[in-house]
A and B are shown apart, each in its own frame.
Chain A
Amino acid sequence: MLYRTVAPGEMMSDDAAVEQLRAQVDALYRAESRHVLATLIRLLKDFDLAEEALHEAFTAAVQQWPQDGIPANPRAWLVSTGRFKAIDVMRRRVRFDASLTEVAEHLYHATSDPAEYDDEHLEDDRLRLIYTCCHPALSPEAQVAMTLREVCGLTTEEIARAFLISPPTVAQRIVRAKAKIREARIPYQVPSPSELPERLDAVLRVVYLVFNEGYSASSGTSLTRADLSSEAIRLGRLLLELLQEPEVMGLLALMLLHESRRTARTSATGELVLLDQQDRSLWNCDLIEHGVTLVEQALSSRRFGPYTIQAAIAAVHAESPTASETDWAQIVALYGLLIQADPSPVIELNRAVAVAMRDGPLAGLELIDAILARGELRNYYLAHSARADFCRRLGRTEEAHASYQRALNLTQQEPERRFLERRLDELK
């Protein structure tokens, strides 16, 4: 059965057309609801009120558009309708709480300036929402929950499932975060230029955390949770649409390049497959191409940071047809840059692994032992796993055994444990 798309202003006459309209409203909801919500939060100055208003606006759309046709600017219609519906919501609440009368009256009399609904203003609203959800006054867990709920539109059940926690825990986190926003008066605005670098950092951190949670679960039997990673990538794309910052490009590139290897990263039986063992024909070329383009764009800006550099490293791997052709010298150089931008022992560890590939396992072993001697990474299983690998390649079997055992004691992830146990077996 063929459905023709209903044009704006067109009248509905029969049931099939009404069904078609419902489908269009559904599509509109998926595409626009978060955007409309972001604007309603600004206009109504309250998250919960905005969500109720959003719901009522879409309900009104389903009821009225069959008679009136789809409006020329559905987004503006939904925002405007949501605002008026909010007044009704406030009036209902006022019957129970007299102190709200003033607020309701203010809403009613506030001028409806058409400029408030123009596209530029509305684009800013999505940024306002993201920055507010990632405000430093909210705990990191609350930032993640708020972003996934308000910006991505995930349900509390979906968020709970993704992070292996209970739905009431997520719900409570969100309720508390909204209360904090309201009571401490966290402003709904894009940060000032002087605060922007740090505030953007917080947003990128949240996005990357969500991606990593989906890329490698921190405990449990499965190594990856694809939905979260694609949600993070969607967030990254949205950020790039709103903000053409090099580090936003860099983070998106990094996520795309990691994602391009998803299929190759685990074997059919769920076993961990290391980078040098992966079947590169399984790597997603489209994601790689997109990622590499973004990296090049970000690097050319000369204002890039850690995410871009990490993406550049991932790009070197992605563009190497085989493991043996990997340009390790370039990777070592990039790690040098990365350590300057973000000095951390984990990055030093990764650099040690790259140095070992360029100069041999002894060079890598010396670097790792220096890190461990400083007292750092003693409880990081990858440090001991890497050390074990260097010892193995040098023929120091007993030391390799000890380090693999140490690594095994430090990780709860099943595929990682199985990999380490296999290595231990191979040493015998």
Chain B
Amino acid sequence: MQYMLMCCIDEYAWDTLPDPQKDTIMREYGALIQDLVKSGQFRGGGQLHPTAAATTLRMSRGKLVFTDGPFAETKEQLGGYHLIECHDLDEAMAIAARIPTLSAGGAIEVRPVAVPDCGPR
């Protein structure tokens, strides 16, 4: 079963981290992804540009409306995502627990991907 790991972090807090700490985190992150590719659990994903590069579309009164920025103004923003193949939630949570941005105050949301045949009931 696939799970999406959504990695959220306060962008300002991330930016103001000392460079050596950022470097360590990114290095550990790379190693983790390598592990997941080797184990065959990696199904996709990556780092996203900061929300300054985001554009949001909505419909309003039958017309498309564009906003500069993310869909929700929240303190923590989505910084990256990973799709992983796991047997169960425990396996997915164990992988999520290894994501290095956690040590910098990040939050990881773990959500199962709905399978089209059976679908959520």
Contacts and interface: CB of A to CB of B under 8 A. Distances in A.
B117 A186 contact: no
B52 interface: no
Contact of B87 (A137, A187, A195): A187
B88 A186 contact: yes
Interface size classification for chain B: 10 to 19
Interface size classification for chain A: 10 to 19
A99 interface: yes
Interface string B1-16: 1000000000000000
Contacts of B88: 185-187
A119 B118 CA distance: 35
A137 B118 contact: no
Interface in A95-116: 99
A179 B121 CA distance: 9
Nearest to B111: A184
Given A137-B93, A185-B89, A99 B117 contact: yes
Nearest to B3: A184
A426 interface: no
B19 interface: no
Contact of B89 (A179, A187, A195): A187
B112 A184 contact: yes
B90 A187 contact: yes
Interface in B70-121: 87-90, 93, 110-112, 117-118, 120-121
A349 B36 CA distance: 47
Contacts, number: 27
A183 interface: yes
A191 B94 CA distance: 12
Contacts of B89: 137, 184-187
A185 B113 CA distance: 11
Interface in B41-67: none
A185 B112 contact: yes
B87 A183 contact: no
A143 to B, nearest CB: 15
A179 B112 CA distance: 12
Given A99-B117, A99-B118, A185 B1 contact: yes
A182 B110 CA distance: 15
Contact of B112 (A183, A189, A195): A183
A403 B73 CA distance: 44
B12 to A, nearest CB: 26
Contacts of A183: 112, 120
A259 to B, nearest CB: 35
A183 B93 CA distance: 15
18 contacts: A99-B117, A137-B89, A137-B93, A179-B121, A183-B112, A183-B120, A184-B89, A184-B111, A184-B112, A185-B1, A185-B87, A185-B112, A186-B89, A186-B90, A187-B87, A187-B88, A189-B90, A195-B90
Interface of B: 1, 87-90, 93, 110-112, 117-118, 120-121
